[in-house]
Amino acid sequence: MKPQISILIFILAIISFETSAQKKIYHSNGFEFILSGADVKFNGVDVNTNMRFTLFLHTQQHVNLDFNDHFGLFAGIGIRNVGFIVEDYYQNVGFSDIDIEHQHWNKSTKIKRRSYALGFPLAFKVGSFDKHFFFFAGGEYEWMFHYKQKQFLDGNKVIFREWNSNRVNSWIPTLFAGVQFPQGFRLKFKYYMEDFLNPSFVGVDFGQPVDYSEFESTGMWYISMAFFINKKHLDKLKSGTAFEKSAYNY
């Protein structure tokens, strides 16, 4: 059975169990700010990459299962915007058959690549849920469903978009770990276990032939700051009493 199917089955199992364990199961919603980086190698060259900061669109829905006050699980679904930025000489950013005679040889070129991803996380958490402080770790499969790339060269910008693009790996497994602080703030580190770009893709980018097998690496990682809120916390916000006791009232 494919891992992403197993994750979906687990999520459905938790939801179906909710009627018999209402006190231990609850939903939470969150959004995150992402600062990401990448390890990009092309034809033996370590390509210069820029840090990438994104705010939109990052939203998550979690189903939490607490076995007691110190150990639990969560699973869910989320959408986020992930990718990387390269800024280097034209011959190093991913094009094929570039030599010193090319008109753009040694020109500074920036290419931004990103995809909207639909993710299915599964993780365990350990800590003090009563005090709203815990550590968590787990894995997530992300489906890259909408790809976009931009090229900046000689003051010009060229944009390409594609749904379900074969330029990227469709499903990418990830590992993540982080810490939840009181009042709903959360810090997380995530590592992508497969390359972002699909090494089997051969075609044309920005009018220039490309063969993504020439990339030895397009691995990504990110650090995020998130804020999570559940229904009881939302009710407190509406009543004007939020944060008087805590951000969560299990």
> What one-character-per-residue DSSP string does 134-148 give?
EEEEEEEEEEEEEEE
**pLDDT tens, position by position, 179-237:** 999 888 999 999 999 999 999 999 999 999 999 999 999 999 999 999 987 655 555 55
Let me know: does 216 contact 172? Beta carbons within 8 Å: no
**pLDDT tens, position by position, 114-144:** 999 999 999 999 999 888 899 999 999 999 9
Residue 36's pLDDT is 98
Report the relative pairing of strands 215-230 and 208-211 from DSSP bridges: unpaired
Give the span between the Cα atoms of 93 and 205, in whole angstroms: 11
Distances (CA, A) of 99 to 92, 103, 183, 229, 234: 11, 9, 56, 54, 59
**pLDDT tens, position by position, 53-108:** 999 899 999 999 999 999 999 999 999 999 999 999 999 999 999 999 999 999 99
Give the span between the Cα atoms of 111 and 84, in whole angstroms: 9
Assessment of whether the complete model's pTM goes beyond 0.75: yes
Half-sphere exposure of residue 191: CA atoms within 13 angstroms, side-chain side: 7
Q: What are 149's two structure tokens?
A: 């790339």
Give the span between the Cα atoms of 15 and 10, in whole angstroms: 9
Q: How many residues can be counted in the chain?
A: 250
**Angle subtended at Cα 45 by Cα 41 and Cα 49, rounded to the nearest 5 degrees:** 55
Neighbours of 114 (CB within 10 A): 21
